[in-house]
Amino acid sequence: MRILKAGYGLDPNGFIVSDASKDKIDDVYMTCIHESIESFKQVFHQELHSVYLYGSVAEEKRFQNPF
């Protein structure tokens, strides 16, 4: 895997830059997220360091159900 540098979604120190935030995730998604993380832990064991959630749910831009 190639090492990414600033300008590819990383800041100058190599940290991920994103509008995503755990605080922006609606509770309706949390069960799925927690279950997914537990599955990752079972598969990757000690190799799992972090789980990053991207996209409309984590950025609070998801489709709002009008009903």
Specify if 8 maps to a domain: no
In this prediction, residue 43 carries a pLDDT of 96
> What is the chain's Cα-based Rg?
15
**47 contacts 40 by C-beta, under 8 angstroms:** no
The candidate with the shortest Cα–Cα distance to 19, out of 50, 64, 54, is 54
Residue 5 lies in a domain: no
- Looking at residue 8, its pLDDT comes to 59
Domain-located, residue 7: no
Task: Count up the domains in the chain and report the number.
Answer: 1
**Segments forming the whole domain that contains residue 48:** 16-67
Model pLDDT, residue 12: 81
The answer to the question of residue 2 being in a domain is no
Sign of the CA dihedral with 54 first, then 59, 64, and 65 last: positive
Helices (H), the chain: 27-44
* Tokens 């940290």, residue located: 15
pLDDT at residue 62, rounded to an integer: 67
**49 in a domain, yes or no?**
yes
pTM above 0.75, yes or no: no
Mean pLDDT by 10 residues, the chain (67 residues): 58 79 84 94 92 77 62
